Structure formats: structure tokens, C-alpha cells
Amino acid sequence: GVAKMLETEGYSVSSLHGEMAFKNRRKEFASFKGASKTGAPAKEIMVCTNLASRGLDFDDVGHVVMYDFPYTLADYIHRVGRTARAGRAGRVTVLFRKKNLPV
């Protein structure tokens, strides 16, 4: 998937999705925030599903890239809400196809 492709290009990537065991989700979340028990540096990129759009607190996300277009305005707001917090600047990129244009 997307995470493997990015890793192949040399990026350090965390993945987060609902089919993961809860303890694995916590581990991936911590590795993105920089809290690794091994002392490894924080991961640069997190690839995730809508699971991360609500209820998870990321302090310093500078860029959100949406691989698919959200179905509702509420979903869009929650996804983009991961960036530009506490007065910081942020960027959002949405990848879409012609079929999404009526949205």
C-alpha cells in the first residue's frame, strides 16, 4: 500500500488503521509522536484511515494529505483538523478525480 511505497522511497512511516490490534495502534501512534521505547526517532509520516481523524491528538502535524475525498463536510473538517493547531500554520492536500468535482 501507500506506507510500503513511502518506505521504499526512504521515508520512516507509521501506519494506523482499524484492522490493527489496539496495542499495535498504540505503538504506531507513539512512534509518530516520538515516544519510542527503543529510543528511535519519531516517524516522519503517518498513513492512516479515518480512524485517526477523530479523537487522536497530534501536537505538530504540518501537512495532511488525503488519498481519497471525504464523503461529508464533517469528515473533511475532522481530517484537516489534525493540522494547523494552536496557532501554527498547516497545509492540506486532497487527491481527487473528476468524479469528485460535483462535491
At 32 the pLDDT is 80
Beta-sheet pairing, 13-16 with 63-66: unpaired
In contact, 69 and 94? CB cutoff 8 Å: yes
List phi, psi (to 5°) of 74: -60, -45
> According to DSSP H, which parts of the chain are helical?
2-8, 22-33, 73-80
Burial of 42 by CB count in 10 Å (0-12 exposed, 13-18 middle, 19+ buried)?
A: middle
In the predicted model, is pLDDT for residue 37 greater than 70? Answer: no
**Average pLDDT rounded to a whole number, residues 69-76:** 85
Burial of 36 by CB count in 10 Å (0-12 exposed, 13-18 middle, 19+ buried)?
A: middle
At 7 the pLDDT is 92
In the predicted model, is pLDDT for residue 44 greater than 70? Answer: yes
Domains of the chain, first to last: 2-100 (3.40.50.300)
